[in-house]
Amino acid sequence: MKFDILTLFPGMFSGPFDESIIKRAKDKQLIDISLHNIRDWATDRHQTADDSPYGGGAGMVMKAAPLAASIESIKSLNPLSTILLTSPHGRRLTHSVAMELAVKPGLIIVCGRYEGIDERIRLIYAEDDISLGDFVLSGGEIAAMAIVDSVTRLIPGALGSSESAESDSFGDGLLEYPHFTRPPEFKGLTVPEALLSGNHELIRKWRRKESLRKTRTLRPDLLSKAILTREDRKMLSEIEQENPHAM
């Protein structure tokens, strides 16, 4: 997977992309990340990449010409890559969206800044728009990091275990079950007996039920979209009887 990130602040990525899963994926050559400073395509001596908006108002807008030149240059090198804008107008980044992006040959991620980008860039070049949620960030760099991280986890071989991504929260439409490790007792709280039993079927059932319980309690909206088995529905009925008001 090839990631090309167009940004005014390439230095923001040095920490997150040089640690943990992303670093290992790069070392394995499973992903290739290139950072491109949009100012490099500005033609004036000050490398100006923003200007005041037509019609007045606060803030600055990223100029069309440097953005267009940078996008066209990178796209010519990676013609199969999808041009993606980080934008509050975009569709929400979810697990299913990350899965969709993970099968693409490459992503050209354009990081917005200031009041946003010249709308003509969106109309001419954008093939997708992605938002992290209904809140405001200083720019698209953090969103780009989240996109790269969520997509990289889904690339075969990026994680230590192929099961890790599948059992993550949202992997099957539900929140993930609780996790415990040593010691078996901590500040009066003990590890559930099922996890200490060594019985794999008992452990599987406990994890599934707790996944359903957590989803029902914290994100009940997910249950309406999840594919539930007969066993799942039986477990939900038991959870309802155990604590009918926990919604």
Per-residue pLDDT of the chain (247 residues; tens, 9 = 90+): 999 999 999 999 999 999 999 999 999 999 999 999 999 999 999 999 999 999 998 899 999 999 999 999 999 999 999 999 999 889 999 999 999 999 999 999 999 999 899 999 999 999 999 999 999 899 999 999 999 999 999 999 999 754 466 556 666 889 999 999 999 999 999 999 999 999 999 999 999 999 999 999 999 999 998 999 999 999 999 999 997 665 5
Which runs of consecutive H residues, i.e. helices, occur in the chain? 20-27, 64-77, 95-102, 119-125, 141-152, 162-167, 193-196, 200-218, 220-223, 230-242
Burial environment of residue 214 by CB neighbours within 10 A (0 to 12, 13 to 18, 19 or more): middle
pLDDT at 30: 97
93/209 same-domain check: no
| Cα→Cα distances 4→10, 38, 78, 138, Å | 11, 12, 9, 20
Select which of 115, 128, 172, 232 is catalytic: 115
Catalytic residue, candidates 40, 51, 129, 168: 168
- Chosen domain end from 129, 152, 175: 152
Q: Is residue 98 in some structural domain?
A: yes
Q: Identify whether 166 is part of a domain.
A: no
Its pTM stands at 0.88
Do residues 148 and 196 share a domain? no
Measured CA distances, 75 to 40, 63, 104, 183 (Å): 16, 18, 14, 52
Is residue 203 located within the same domain as residue 137? no
Number of domains in the chain: 2
Asked whether residue 57 is assigned to any structural domain, the reply reads: yes
What is the three-state SS of 42-84?
CCCCCCCCEECCCCCCCCCEECHHHHHHHHHHHHHHCCCCEEE
Q: Is 153 a catalytic residue?
A: yes
Catalytic residue from among 39, 40, 51, 88: 88
**Residue 173: per-residue pLDDT:** 86
pLDDT at residue number 122: 95
189 and 144 together in one domain: no
173 Ramachandran zone, left/alpha/beta (phi>0; psi -120 to 50): left
115 is known as an active-site residue: yes
Catalytically annotated residue among 122, 153, 213, 216: 153
Q: Are residues 143 and 222 in the same domain?
A: no
Is 23 among the domain residues? yes
Whether residue 143 is found in the same domain as residue 204: no
Residues in CB range of 60: below 8 A, 6 or more apart: 50, 51, 52, 53, 114, 115
Can you tell me whether residue 129 is helix, strand or coil? strand
**Residue 113, domain CATH:** 3.40.1280.10
**One domain, residues 207 and 95:** no
For residue 88, being part of any structural domain is answered with yes
In this structure, is residue 101 part of a structural domain? Answer: yes
> Which residues have C-beta within 8 Å of that of residue 214, sequence separation ≥ 6?
174, 175, 176, 177, 178
Q: Are residues 145 and 189 in the same domain?
A: no
Q: Estimate the crossing angle of helix 20-27 against helix 141-152, to 10 degrees.
A: 60
Domain identity same for 41 and 137: yes
Q: Are residues 137 and 194 in the same domain?
A: no
pLDDT of 164 reads 62
Q: Which residue range(s) make up the domain with 125?
A: 2-152
User: 148 and 89 in one domain?
Assistant: yes
Q: Are residues 49 and 116 in the same domain?
A: yes
